[in-house]
Amino acid sequence: MSGRIVGAWRTPRNLSADAAGSIHDDTTAAGLGFRGGTVAGNIHMDLLPPLLTSAFGQTWFETGSMSLYFQRATTDAEPVQAWVDRPVDAARQVACGIVTEDGGSAAEGTASVGLDGEPTALQARDMRPVDPATLRILRDVAPGEHLPGEPVVVDGPGQRQRLANGLVSEPMDVYDGSSPWGPPIASPLTVVDLLYLAPLRTVRDRVGEVVGLFGAIEIRFHGSPVFLDQQYEVDGTVVALSETPKTEVLWYDARAVDEHGTLVATLRLMNRFLKASSPRYAGDDPAG
């Protein structure tokens, strides 16, 4: 069967609206030219797994990927709808995305199953790297730099609380209780939370006061789902640095390894740092 698998219209919530000074805070976001506090991209990623398991089966949680470039920031409870092209002729990668009610695109990219395949949307993307010496916010960060991580426990309580409060836009039974793999598994939002923060922390210490937001995210499973409440060793690597007229851009990869040293999940993330929010562009950065 060909065609497109389309989800129901959903209203994802801005789960970080109370994070003062962040892009999710209405006042801060409006001051930077946004319509209001933005819904984080990994919240939108939870819209897609029911469609992806319809397209590829439960094995998507074992060897699948989701690779999205965010094109339009949405605000709290703004209606969105996810879609996935149905695989044709045993295709292992398909287009996918999220649209807004007015016909705009919140995100577009690819999803796949299987570890050997064509480059994903983000792997194939031109990152437009620049000489780090030309940057201000990211001047102390270098492509190829290892980003030390730390042991991280998957946030089972947080995911269960979101489910209990109706804050997972597309809940699935495997996210709570048992799953075909035994324990409950992490939704994409929880997988991103596992992977992105520990490597980024060492960069955040060097960029100074600045507001950032997710510009693109890819997750991939390498043989197993990510399990709730389990500890993984997480670290990362800077892939590229670039800029636009309004942002400086950090691309980095992260990985989660289990207690046996087995790679379980990887992340590619594009983090945009807004120049208008940085003292380094206002000329009053105390570090010079």
Backbone angles phi, psi at 3, to 5 degrees: 115, -160
The answer to whether residue 241 sits within a structural domain is yes
Residue with the bigger pLDDT between 239 and 285: it is 239
Asked if residue 259 belongs to a domain, the reply is yes
Reported pTM: 0.96
- Residue 254: inside a domain, yes or no? yes
CATH number for the domain that contains residue 179:
3.10.129.10
Would you say residue 236 lies in a domain? yes
CA-based nearest residue to 188, from 262, 127, 109, 259: 109
The rounded mean pLDDT for the chain is: 95
Give the C-alpha separation, 51 to 91, whole Å. Answer: 16
Q: Is 145 exposed, middle or buried (0-12, 13-18, 19+ CB in 10 A)?
A: middle
3-38 tens-digit pLDDT: 999 999 999 999 999 999 999 999 999 999 999 999
How many domains does one find in the chain? 1
State the pLDDT confidence band at 285, using cuts at 50, 70 and 90. Answer: low
**Region of poorest pLDDT, from 12-21, 115-124, 222-231:** 115-124
> Which pLDDT tens digit goes with each residue over 189-205?
999 999 999 999 999 98
Domain assignment present for residue 131? The answer is no
Q: Is residue 276 part of a domain?
A: yes
Write out pLDDT tens, residues 178-189. 999 999 999 999
H or E segment at 56?
helix 49-56
Higher pLDDT, 149 or 158: 158
Q: Which domain holds residue 226?
A: 4-114+145-282
Q: What is the pLDDT of residue 288?
A: 46
Q: What's the whole-number mean pLDDT along residues 60-88? A: 97
Cα–Cα distance list, 191 to 24, 42, 151, 228 (Å) = 20, 9, 14, 9
- CB 33: neighbour CB atoms within 10 A? 9
